[in-house]
Amino acid sequence: MATSRRTTKKGAADTANHAVFAGSMPVTSELTPFQILAPDGTPVREDLIPDLDLVEEMYRQMARLRHLDDKFMTLYKSQKLGNYAQFGGQEASQIGSAMALDQNLDFLCPMYRNTAAMITHGWSLKNAIMYWRGHPEGWRIPDDLNILPVIISIPGQIVHAAGVAMGLQMKKTGGVAMTYIGEGGTSQGDFHIGVNFASARNAPAVFIIENNGWAISVPRKVQSGVDYLMRRSEGYGIPGYLVDGNDILAVHTVAKKAVQDARDGKGPSLIEQMTYRIRPHTTGDDPKAYRDENGDPKFWAENRDPIQRVKRFLTTEKRWNDDREVAMMAEIETEFQAALEAADNFAAPDPKALLEYVFVNPPVQILEQQAILAERIKEVNA
């Protein structure tokens, strides 16, 4: 990690993220999430600022994927995308951590919220569009990517990551498995099973809790009686970290350490990244039914935006200006339009695909359903 060459004044440690979350927790806590940049972009830890080329790369990737998230909402409204789980507001949390992985060695075991992490680990924009359209070409992860299929059934991805990590350990590839889970998913039994298993086998896994305050309509407060969920790491005998999930530098620093430790044979880690779901659960959700959109969501969108934080920092460093912003946004839009065109031009799937790709040897029930479907297709086309 490069030592900072900058002269900006040291920022005051930000306790506001903590305060916002404290209100949603059942008990108070003396812990404060680790931070490198304060929300206004001022360094809190000058000594931990990485090379500015890397910071700029992070900024560009966050801007690129925020644009994607915005576009996906528009596509959904014009019926050109299916129900989609937005990540907008959680870019730092996903991109900062996925950037700690080696695309050739390490595996990502994603859930539905992780489109940003997947793209950061090599998934194409075109395939992301096709996935959220329900096209088989989108579900199929290309062979050259170390990414597992997207998990909807929470928290299967935790158990998968434990298994993948164990496989990598047995094969001695030096690879690591990283996975994500929402704070709500940590209340499920398989969370314990997966993390406990990885710990017992010293498997090279990194478990990331993206605590965005909500599990659809269920607030964090009623998920668990503990203050921070990373405390569970102690019960598993593994390191636990509490991080400001909207500070990409902090997220990246901690994820890099956890990945390196796993690679070095030191076993798994559990990281809790404090963020906030400023957008609906999915495009099909109406959060007004269960929360005040002018309360925490507005506060986080206006005062805790992970992209603005880095932009302010880079601007102060004279690494960013309006001209560069305009040029970048034009490039991002061109790239998105090309991906959309490629997805639009892709042949529509064969309806039979509805019942394929699950079993190598389909059981009798699936064979029966395939026969019924084939009949219906014949009728419709007659």
Ligand X SMILES: Cc1ncc(C[n+]2csc(CCOP(=O)(O)OP(=O)(O)O)c2C)c(N)n1
Q: Which residues bind Mg ion (CB under 5 A)?
A: 182-184, 212, 215
Nearest one of 240, 230, 274 to 96, comparing CA atoms:
274
Helix (H, G, I), strand (E, B) or coil at 271: strand
- In the complex, least distance from residue 294 CB atom to ligand X, rounded to whole angstroms: 20
CB 157 within 8 A of CB 110: yes
Are the C-beta atoms of 332 and 353 separated by less than 8 Å? no
CA distance 217 to 250: 28
**66 catalytic residue (yes or no):** no
Least distance between Mg ion and beta carbon 74 (Å): 24
CB 216, CB 279: distance < 8 Å = no
Distance from C-alpha of 263 to C-alpha of 265, rounded to nearest angstrom: 5
Catalytic residue at 112?
no
**199 in Cβ contact with 267 (< 8 Å):** yes
Q: Which of 154, 198, 238, 258 binds ligand X (CB under 6 A)?
A: 154
Catalytic residue among 6, 290, 357, 376: 290
Q: Which residue lies nearer to Mg ion by CB, 195 or 339?
A: 195
- Sign for the pseudo-dihedral over CA of 221, 209, 148, 95: positive
> Applying CB under 6 A, which part among 101-109, 115-123, 149-157, 331-339 lies near ligand X?
149-157
Cβ-based nearer residue to ligand X, 111 or 255: 111
Q: Note whether 262 binds ligand X by CB under 6 A.
A: no
Selection from Mg ion, ligand X, none that 185 binds (CB < 5 to 8 A by kind) is ligand X
Number of residues that bind ligand X (CB under 6 A): 15
Q: x/- site string to ligand X, residues 196 to 225, per CB under 6 A?
A: --------------x-x-xxx---------
Q: Nearest CA to 117 among 137, 80, 142, 92?
A: 92
Single-letter amino acid, residue 137: E
Among 74, 104, 153, 260, binds ligand X (CB under 6 A): 153
d(CA 287, CA 306): 21
Cβ closest to ligand X, residue 82 vs residue 362: 82
Partners of residue 147 on adjacent β-strands: 108
Query: x/- site string to ligand X, residues 166 to 195, per CB under 6 A?
Result: ----------------xxxx----------
> Residues 135, 126, 314, 243: is their CA dihedral positive or negative?
positive
Which residue in the list 277, 279, 304, 309 is annotated as catalytic?
277
* Partner whose binding site includes residue 157, from ligand X, Mg ion, none (CB under 5 to 8 Å by kind): none
Please report where in the chains the tokens 């003396």 appear, as a residue.
30
By beta carbon distance, the residue nearest ligand X is: 182
Verify binding: residue 279, ligand X, rule CB under 6 A.
no
Name which position in 16, 152, 330, 372 contacts ligand X (CB under 6 A): 152
Is residue 329 a contact point for ligand X (CB under 6 A)?
Answer: no
Q: Is 324 a catalytic residue?
A: no
Q: Which residue has the tokens 């593994």?
A: 238
Nearer to Mg ion by Cβ, of 223 and 233: the residue is 223
Any idea what the Cα angle at residue 171 is, between residues 137 and 114, rounded to 5°? 35
152: CB partners within 8 A, 6+ apart: 111, 112
Q: Does 150 bind ligand X (CB under 6 A)?
A: no
Q: Which residues are catalytic?
A: 277, 281, 290
Residues in contact with ligand X by CB under 6 A are: 113, 152-154, 182-185, 210, 212, 214-216, 277, 281
